[in-house]
Amino acid sequence: MSALTNETKLRIEKTIKNLKANKMDAYYCENKTDACNLVKTLIKKGDVISSGGSVTLKQTGVYDIITSSDYNYLDRTAEGLTPEQVEEVYRKTFSADAYFASSNAITENGELYNVDGNSNRVAAILYGPASVILVCGYNKIVKNIDEAIDRVKKVAAPGNTIRLNIDAPCSKLGKCISADKEDAELCSGCKSDRRICCNYVVCAQQRHKDRIKVIIIGEEYGY
């Protein structure tokens, strides 16, 4: 963690300790190269693998690994797929050996906070795949759930609507319309038909020890 401030190092250490206390495996990698090398030890050749949409996976090179010929990647974005075939990929994902994604936020208390629209990502994180591997830059770490909620409204949601070219208010305002409102509640937001904030999920202590694995990288990635 040499490039990080002492405060950031302590936050990462605390977060990893509490993720493990919540029965999730957690790792620290100094950079994306180390993270990619770690990923290769967490999966084996021939594994059936799927993933959620993630800027982090692509920025770090993890996406290139899991979509290589060494693994059986379930690709819902493959050219020519019909809507019915995409749905079939979603359902096959529940039987995958490993599922890769990132997390919208990770609290220092060892909780994961994720908000989805279609919700195939949060569904797979919660149930199905034998192993869930979440790759996250240290910028995803927040103090608590309140800060996690704030992060999604001000960073993750607008960033993703812009990335996906979704015509929702946050893509124009740069934040959720409920951000900074004193009376805003967890699910407060727009009424857009293309709203991406539909299901709000907190992962705390797990029943299945180490099924969820969190890789925290000492660099900033994703939204």
- The tens digit of pLDDT for each residue in 29-44 reads 999 999 999 999 999 9
Place 95 in a pLDDT band, splitting at 50, 70 and 90.
very high
CA distance 113 to 203: 7
Residue 19 lies in a domain: yes
Residues 184, 205 contacting (CB under 8 angstroms): no
pLDDT at 1 over 70: no
The token pair that represents 66 in the structure block: 């899991």
pLDDT at 143 over 80: yes
> What does the pLDDT average to over 3-10?
94
Residue 66 lies in a domain: yes
Domain with 89, as residue range(s), is 6-143+198-217
Number of structural domains in the chain? 1
The type of residue at 87 is: E
pLDDT of residue 3: 78
Residue 171 lies in a domain: no
Residue 83 lies in a domain: yes
> What does the pLDDT average to over 157-170?
94
Residue 211 lies in a domain: yes
CB-facing half-sphere around the CA of 100: CA atoms within 13 A: 32
CA distance 41 to 53: 22
Share of the chain above pLDDT 70, in %: 99
How much is the pTM?
0.95
Residue 157 lies in a domain: no
pLDDT of residue 178: 96
Residue 151 lies in a domain: no
What average pLDDT does the chain have? 97
Q: 80 forms bridges with which residues in the sheet?
A: none
> What does the pLDDT average to over 195-204?
98
pLDDT tens readout for residues 166-191: 999 999 999 999 999 988 899 999 99
> What does the pLDDT average to over 93-117?
99
pLDDT at 198 over 80: yes
Q: Give the ranges where the chain is alpha helix by DSSP (H).
A: 6-21, 32-42, 55-60, 62-66, 83-93, 120-126, 145-151, 157-163, 169-173
pLDDT tens readout for residues 14-68: 999 999 999 999 999 999 999 999 999 999 999 999 999 999 999 999 999 999 9
CATH number at residue 84: 3.40.50
Residue 39 lies in a domain: yes
> What does the pLDDT average to over 113-138?
98
Residues 166, 172 contacting (CB under 8 angstroms): no
> What does the pLDDT average to over 209-219?
99
